[in-house]
Amino acid sequence: MNKVYHRIEKIAGNVITIKADLVKYGELAVVSSGFGTSLANVIRLEHDNVSLQVFTGSRGIATDAKVRFLGNPMQTAFSESLLGRIFNGIGIPRDKGPAIKDNMTDIGGPSVNPAKRIIPRNMVRTGIPMIDVFNTLVESQKLPIFSVAGEPYNELLARIALQAEVDVIILGGMGLKHDDYLYFRDTLEEYGALSRSVMFVHTAADPTVECLMVPDVCLAVAEKFALKNKRALVLLTDMTNFADAMKEIAITMEQIPSNRGYPGDLYSQLASRYEKAVDFDGNGSITILAVTTMPGDDVTHPVPDNTGYITEGQFYLRNARIEPFGSLSRLKQLVNGTTREDHRQIMNTMIQLYANYKETLEKQSMGFRMSDWDSKLLKYGGRFENELMDLSVNIPLEQALDLCWTILADCFEPAEAGLPTKLIDRFWPSKG
């Protein structure tokens, strides 16, 4: 049944074109040539011309390479035995374990019916005060980490993964440095989390097309876990590499770029992945945290810009700290009303005071005179940065809130903080 085709008409970039019939749009094929075999998928049909993007790239493909169509689109296996395992971007084992072929399912499946969605309601505790107190992460949220190269974003991802209360961790690496890949593997192993993790890793040395599959494979697996009543956390790093891979293919296919070379459907492409984040009513959930590096620290670059329009807030990682300004969890108000009664108020007050501190810093640098109030703010800002913003701080939400009160009490008189009297009476620490 699976006819084999031999004549390749055209090879350009990672795309080959052959003459074939009865091929389905989106179908997968195996291309074998002297240099080895690779998967490829159909991205265009035009009469009997079939264009395929070859996962390992077109290097070494001969004009008489064999192309065998498989009759199905790209799929991924799903079973509990995925846990603890490491694969490449298209599901081939990277560790020494056996291949897994259970319950093959199509990737990039249909989206959830909005009418079946529910309003998210569970906080995901991370032990990081800048998240728990100020930008609370919510189950089923989709949130990127915006940062520049060189920031410890992978360390942050790993920490959140280890400390978050989730059932399954799915890590998707795109263009990951080999060292970073080993870092994730070893860290998950060291803290005993590998057994509840699955890793799909495309490293910088692997073929570009495989990079494109990573988010879909991860999310398809996450969806299956979620439908089995598991809380799945999907970590994607780095989505900018994913977007760049799309750019590369688009240019090969001679698509007209819209903005700095990126294809016009960048928004839709990113959205169809991020929108997989969901809380299934009466079942599991998918939460997505995705690193998005900003070329040139420019948030208006098309990748972070389009991402910001899609996700439910963002964490800005700068100077190894989550910035209080710019960082935002758009879902926080859905959960922080029921954590502790002082949560919302403390969150706002601390940030307002920190903003005042920043203004004072500016005045100081301009050489303007420092008032009493300014000195208090300077003391406050220093403690805020060291005791709350520093990423090594690792305390539960309640303890972090208590710490906020301690810092306030050490720096200010109760009336200066601008908090409601009711809360001050209950929470303001007595001196001494």
Partner 1 sequence: MEKNLGKIVGVNGNLLTIEFDKPVVQNEVAYAILDGFRLKSEVIRIRGNRAEAQVFENTRGLQIGGVVEFTGTLLSVELGPGLLTQVYDGLQNPLPQLAEKCGFFLQRGTYPRALDAEKKWDYTPVAEVGDTLKAADTVGTVPEGIFTHRIMVPFGLAGKLTVEEVVDAGSYTVDQIVAKLKDVSGNTVEVTMTQNWPVKIPIKAYDERLKTEEPLVTNVRIMDTFFPIARGGTYCIPGPFGAGKTVLQQITSRHADVDIVIIAACGERAGEVVETLREFPELRDPRTGRSLMERTLIICNTSSMPVAAREASVYTAVTIAEYYRQMGLDVLLLADSTSRWAQALRELSGRLEEIPGEEAFPAYLESVIASFYERGGVVRLNDGSTGSVTIGGTVSPAGGNFEEPVTQSTLKVVGAFEGLSRARSDARRYPAIDPLESWSKYPSVVGEEDLEVGRRMLRQGNEVGQMMKVVGEEGTSMDDFVVYLKSEYLDAVYLQQDAYHEVDGATSADRQQYVFGKITNILRTKMNFKEKAAARTFFQNLTQATKDWNRMVVNSDEYKQSVKQIKQMLVEVSVHE
Q: Return residues touching ligand ATP (CB under 6 A).
A: 309, 330
- Cα(336)–Cα(359) distance, integer angstroms: 28
> First CA to last CA across the chain, in angstroms?
84
Nearest CA to 302 out of 255, 269, 273, 254 is that of 269
- Cα(157)–Cα(70) distance, integer angstroms: 37
The residue from 26, 84, 295, 414 that contacts partner 1 (CB under 8 A) is 26
Using the minimum distance from each CB to partner 1, give the nearer residue, 85 or 301.
301
Q: How far is the CB of 59 from ligand ATP (least distance, A)?
A: 40
The residue from 258, 345, 364, 399 that contacts partner 1 (CB under 8 A) is 258
Using the minimum distance from each CB to partner 1, give the nearer residue, 191 or 373.
373
Is the CB of residue 193 less than 8 Å from the CB of residue 162? yes
Is the CB of residue 380 less than 8 Å from the CB of residue 413? no
SS3 for 386? Answer: helix
Binding mask 44-73 for partner 1 (x = CB under 8 A): xxxxx------------------------x
> Counting contacts by CB under 8 A, is residue 37 touching partner 1?
no
Q: How far is the CB of 176 from partner 1 (least distance, A)?
A: 25
Nearest CA to 171 out of 242, 237, 77 is that of 237
List strand residue ranges (DSSP E) for 177-281, in order.
Answer: 197-203, 231-237, 257-259, 262-263, 278-279
Using the minimum distance from each CB to ligand ATP, give the nearer residue, 63 or 333.
333
Nearest CA to 147 out of 302, 321, 316 is that of 316
Return the exposure string of 172-199: e unless at least 16 CB atoms fall within 10 Å of the residue's CB, then b. Answer: bbbbbeeebbeebbebbeeeebbebbbb
> Counting contacts by CB under 8 A, is residue 365 touching partner 1?
no
Q: How many CA atoms lie within 13 A of 35 on its CB side?
A: 10
> Counting contacts by CB under 8 A, is residue 379 touching partner 1?
no
Q: Choosing among ligand ATP, partner 1, none, which partner's interface includes residue 112 (Cβ < 5 to 8 Å by kind)? A: partner 1
Q: How far is the CB of 304 from partner 1 (least distance, A)?
A: 9
The residue from 79, 195, 259, 386 that contacts partner 1 (CB under 8 A) is 259
Q: Which of residues 114-153 bind partner 1 (CB under 8 A)?
A: 114-120
- Cα(353)–Cα(130) distance, integer angstroms: 15
Q: Which of residues 323-362 bind partner 1 (CB under 8 A)?
A: 325-326, 328, 330-331
Using the minimum distance from each CB to partner 1, give the nearer residue, 26 or 295.
26
Tell me which residues touch partner 1 (CB under 8 A): 21-27, 44-48, 73, 109-120, 227, 255-259, 263-265, 267-268, 271-272, 275-276, 280, 300-302, 305-306, 308-310, 312-313, 325-326, 328, 330-331, 363, 366, 368-369
